[in-house]
Chains A and B, each alone.
Chain A
């Protein structure tokens, strides 16, 4: 049975299309700033999708951390280096000969696995999941997933110290 297209499905289609278009734009743009901003578009539409699925906390964090902090740093560095637009490399005959069949094969494998897995899973219901607020997520992080959470924070701390050590080193 085909479900009636309601507002949620329409919203999903619009956002999914936008996300895919932005994703294509990331790799097709000639200018690095344009690519980075397309990536922001992908993250923004993903955040709204999370919101529609009921994961409000995840949506907000996606915007704050990815779109607001990491991508701002990316754009900042690209602007600081002031890189111009790239000329696309001339594609060789060999690249077409190997590239297109392997792309098709890759897509085939992916779609095979998706189609194989799909009947086993029930389709997502918008609005059915309500445990995505800050309180349930926080409770899970501090009970069930406490160890991975703490280990991740330790990992981030090590990365920060490593970055500082590398940055402090004099360039000979």
Chain B
């Protein structure tokens, strides 16, 4: 009974957090892109546009769901469902923290533990292409079809370097269980993480994995399936309302999943970058620093009228969060055992997500032949070389 109850609570918490992340990731992306381009971004709905995701959801849900004439209705409706459900599965095997004990119940901070966790994620990501390819094909539109075809070709090609780059750290870690992978990197400084072992081989593998991840999630600079100056909107040109929202959500969910996977496998999962007693105070310091900056900025030099109220408010919230983390690190270890690992995990995932957005604001799109030549003549040999050299290293020193 305990098992079911605990699992149910964990599912509710993870699902809620995941959905909120997806909604607000889009807000963060718009804000960051806007500031990269010297704009303000969403500003109207709520303070600093914070309620914009809610408004977008209402807008998308109340729009008319149109099924165009001459589409293959079954596959046209099936495609967004496939895309969303496959994108949401993988989060179930990601470990967010160590084993904890709460009110006498011991449980792992994850939904489920599989001894083939890495393989499951690879399987789901390789099947994920069906949603996009089918959506493009069933729409009966040449632009959609081109988008779907490009997406399939791109995902098949980039899966190869991605899988090889993912296999390289597994040589060092010697397991396919994501929990054990994270646990084996802990207990010390950041050079225990796989990305920094056998330097620079595994760091190169990490970079190869990240580049392939951009292509797998159809993000800039590899967003040719939806290149709007050639293909209108690519595979989801003919979609509207919640079906469109499904594709949109699937893209962001894939992004979150792939950053979680790279955090777990390459960046030490929930482990802090340096040993425990000192790293426990880093969250407090960070939150208090941000709170101080916001308070100072809002009270002394507000740029706009509302900043006088919103900046100090966010500053106080940030100070409060810092205080909670200070309590968690010192006198309330029962909260600390959950909050501190989750903080480090979320911080690493957040940094990688920021990298995704940063790249989108910086790099132009590849041409299609460049995209294919890049993976087959550069990325794939590099990943293969890394795998072989790491194998040699493990055989000699491991």
CB pair A80–B119 under 8 Å, yes or no, is: no
Write the B91-133 contact mask toward A (1 if CB under 8 angstroms, else 0): 0000000000000000000000011100110111011011001
Q: What 4 additional pairs, Cβ within 8 angstroms, besides A37-B130, A40-B127, A79-B148?
A: A67-B127, A69-B159, A75-B133, A82-B145
B227 CB to nearest A CB, Å: 18
Counting CB contacts under 8 A, is A46 at the interface? Answer: no
User: Which of B37-45, B149-157, B187-195 lines the interface with chain A?
Assistant: B149-157
A82 to B133, CA, bound (A): 13
Partner of B130, one of A34, A40, A60, A134: A40
Write the A16-54 contact mask toward B (1 if CB under 8 angstroms, else 0): 000000000000000101100100100000000000000
Counting CB contacts under 8 A, is A73 at the interface? Answer: yes
- Residues of B contacting A133 with CB < 8 Å? 115-116
Interface residues of A (CB under 8 A from B): 31, 33-34, 37, 40, 56-57, 59-61, 63-64, 67-69, 72-73, 75-76, 79-80, 82, 133-134
Contacts A56-B116, A73-B156 given; does A64 touch B126 at CB 8 Å: yes
Give the interface centre of A64, A69, A133 by most chain B CB atoms within 10 Å: A64
A72 to B128, CA, bound (A): 10
Give the interface centre of B123, B134, B148, B155 by most chain A CB atoms within 10 Å: B123
A64 to B155, CA, bound (A): 13
CB pair A76–B152 under 8 Å, yes or no, is: yes
Chain B interface residue bracket vs A: 20 to 34
A113 to B148, CA, bound (A): 46
Interface residues of B in 131-164 (CB under 8 A from A): 133-134, 136-137, 145, 148-149, 152-153, 155-156, 159
Counting CB contacts under 8 A, is B75 at the interface? Answer: yes
CB pair A57–B149 under 8 Å, yes or no, is: no
A80 CB to nearest B CB, Å: 6
- Residues of B contacting A57 with CB < 8 Å? 116, 119
A82 to B155, CA, bound (A): 20
Nearest A residue to B129 via CB reads: A72
Partner of B176, one of A63, A67, A75, A134: A134
Partner of A72, one of B75, B115, B126: B126
A60 to B115, CA, bound (A): 11
Nearest B residue to A61 via CB reads: B119
- Residues of B contacting A134 with CB < 8 Å? 115-116, 119, 176
Nearest B residue to A68 via CB reads: B126
CB pair B159–A60 under 8 Å, yes or no, is: no
